[in-house]
Structure 1
Amino acid sequence: MMAIVAIHGHRVLTMFDMGCTTDIISPQFATIAKVPYRYLKNPILLQLGMVGSSVKLQFGTNINIQIMDIDNVEYCNVVNIDRYDAILSTPFMHKHGIVLDFVTNSIRHGTKAIQAMSTTEETIVMARRHAAVVDMFNASLKGINKYGKEHIPLLRERWKESCKDIFAGAPDKIPPLREINHQIPLIDKNKQYKYYMLRCPNSMKPQLAAKIDHFVRAGWWEFVQSDQAAPMLCVPKKTGML
């Protein structure tokens, strides 16, 4: 069931999930509401409908939750959940005596009850959120389009000038020594790593050869004997952006 619940002084879209065993808030809500959260020393693998293929519980917070007669500070994990701002779990409902009434589609606590959202109401809320995101995107486009198409070449040159340090590639000499000596010492030189041998496509071999020559000439790399190695080649991606 879904309902609007007051969490950290904000009205947020919350799902009451009988199949979940931990209370959760989304990082988007935590950021907007400025919820202070902390890093967990021992992350826990989470199995739930999350955004992404693998999710771990890495952050947690103590946050105030208000619903009907309940006004407590509860521990919640901060996880990248989809669609909702928060999820209240079975342990939370059991602790506070919350009952999900599927006959009347309501959430009850003692003698009080709040009406859960219907499918139509949820669709409306999600549509409004989508529209708000679209409006923000359109507003950002207006910030660019206000210059007009005739200003695009000027903007492009300004972007190139501001980012020339990352577009120029590796310099022809090693940077001056600071706190590091530009080497990556191996912790265990006898360690053998098992992986599939990488192959460079024929179409990329000229670029790989040019990069090796450049890096060796500049002193970034040097030829040594090794039992295992892999070619390294970073290819800039060309897009249709301005």
Structure 2
Amino acid sequence: MARYITLNGFRAYTLFDSGSTTNSVSPQVTEVVKLPVFQLDNPVTLQLGCIGSRSKIFYSCNVTAVFGPLSVDHYFDVTNIDRYDCIVGNPWMREHRVLLDFANDAIVINGVPIPALTEGEEQE
């Protein structure tokens, strides 16, 4: 499911991905928002769900993320992302009790349902 969240005041097109074990923001967003990034001492391998599809994570950042009733400072890996500005994965969703309600096309935070973007809205 996709929705816009705010990262340090920037409206970021975000994928809520229940299959992701990391939270990621694109390098382009870190440049536009002027987020301070930190080089990792030990780069982390990013393994995707297809054979031979992997990359390395070299940088991270901390960012204030605002979505619905939630406003938190959170750690994000800086990774090359196609199509989205940000990916919110299981670590973020578990910590902040986010539920993906596929029956109602909503992202639920602390019992507050927020409609996911429709396919038409995503195309815009």
- TM-score, normalization: structure 2? 0.92
Instruction: Report the equivalent of 1:28.
Output: 28
In structure 2, runs of 5+ residues without a counterpart are: none
Question: 2:76 matched to which residue of 1?
Answer: 76
Shift of 1:70: 1.4
Question: Could you say which structure has the larger radius of gyration?
Answer: 1
Quote the residue 1:7 is aligned against. Answer: 7
| Paired residue type of 1:107 | I
Gaps of 5+ in 1: 125-242
Contact 2:5–2:11 (CA under 8 A) maintained in structure 1: yes
Q: Which whole-Å CA distance do the structure 1 matches of 2:42 and 2:97 have between them?
A: 30
Instruction: Indicate the percent of aligned positions where both proteins have the same amino acid.
Output: 36
Partner SS, residue 30 of structure 2: helix
Aligned mates of 2:90, 2:54 — CA distance in 1: 23
Superposed counterparts of 1:215-234, under 5 Å: none
**Contact 2:108/2:114 (8 A) holds in 1:** yes
Which aligned runs of 4 or more in structure 1 are off by greater than 3 angstroms? none
Shift of 1:54: 4.2
Give the aligned partner of residue 66 of structure 1. Answer: 66
1:198-237, aligned counterparts within 5 Å? none
Deviation per CA, 1:177-197: give whole Å up to 9, x if none: xxxxxxxxxxxxxxxxxxxxx
Write the mapping of 1:1-242 to structure 2, written as runs, cut at 5 A. Answer: 1-48=1-48, 54-124=54-124
What CA RMSD, in Å, does the superposition of the two structures yield over aligned residues? Answer: 1.3
Instruction: Give the strand-richer structure, 1 or 2.
Output: 2
Q: Residue type matched to 2:98 in 1?
A: I
Query: Which protein, 1 or 2, shows the higher relative CO under an 8 Å CA cutoff with sep ≥ 6?
Result: 2
- Contact 2:48–2:54 (CA under 8 A) maintained in structure 1: no
Please state whether the residue corresponding to 1:92 is helix, strand or coil: helix
TM-score (normalised: structure 1)? 0.48
